[in-house]
Amino acid sequence: MSGLLQDKTGLILGVSNNRGIAWAIAQEAAREGARLILSYADDRLEDRARQLADEVQTDLLVRCDLGNDEDIAALFETVEKQVGRLDFVVHSVAFAKREELAGEFVATSREGFALAHDISTYSLVAVARGARPYMTEGGSLLTVSFQGSQRVFPNYNVMGVAKAALEATVRYLAADLGPQGIRVNAVSPGPIRTLAASAVRGLGTMQQHMEERAPLRRNITAAEVAAASVFLLSDKASGITGEVLHVDAGYHIVGL
């Protein structure tokens, strides 16, 4: 039986360790038949990224700092030389200075605000622009948000504002790229204990609150996020664009 992504080629950005959402999506996409290109952010992560690439049976691994336009251009030059076309791109990238993820949001520095939005939000625009010429038969772009885009979570601060901008970016890109058959969506997971999320203080409290209040009375797993993501990347979601799909055990629907 063929998988949901059989004979499709995809680029997954942000694979750096085996505790992240990007890696969970890579694993699920590979199981569903996709040929993958993986990217990692800097040289310190290369050895680990190469091990992960071996696990999903790909030798297409590219270093790309998404804050650097030259790196992004080089990434898509590699796409052109190695695969020629893309069916999907997963953008699972976010960054804010650790000191901005504590205390009051009003204390956010100008530099910290700009950096969080550059890496977490603008990079999706840059990636979409780079990927578009290689999505000649349509395709799917997917990014990863969080409910902190809509509600205040303690210590999430500037990242919540960046995620709000990211969700708006999804809608604008969906409108721009839709005529070419390119869909743009986001998944919004509940709090998961990834390596990146460990920078946010109080993550355990978030998870406890979700388990107590979410309709399913539990937290979610990276595997569940990956399964929903692969659906959005696949032809089964061919009529869905500009959406933010919550994978959070229903927590986002609950009031007080």
The pLDDT of residue 18 is: 83
CA distance 227 to 56: 16
Contact 186, 233 (CB under 8 A): no
Return the CATH number of the domain spanning residue range 9-247. Answer: 3.40.50.720
Number of Cβ within 10 Å of residue 164's Cβ equals: 16
Q: What is the DSSP string of 161-208?
A: HHHHHHHHHHHHHHHHHGGGTEEEEEEEE-----TTGGGSTTHHHHHH
SS3 state of residue 13 = strand
8 is catalytic: no
Q: Out of 134, 163, 236, 251, pick the active-site residue.
A: 163
Catalytic, out of 97, 156, 236, 251? 156
Q: How far is CA 105 from CA 20, 154, 155, 165, 208, in A?
A: 26, 9, 8, 16, 23
The strand pairing partners of 90, in sequence order, are: 12, 142
CA distance 160 to 155: 9
pLDDT averaged per 10 residues, the chain (length 256): 90 88 95 95 84 89 94 95 96 94 94 97 98 96 95 93 98 98 96 62 76 90 96 98 96 85
8 Å CB contact between 12 and 80: no
pLDDT confidence of residue 1:
57
* pLDDT for position 239: 98
| CA pair distance 209, 207, nearest whole angstrom | 5
Q: What is the structure's pLDDT at 45? A: 82
236 is annotated as an active-site residue: no
Domain boundaries, the chain: 9-247
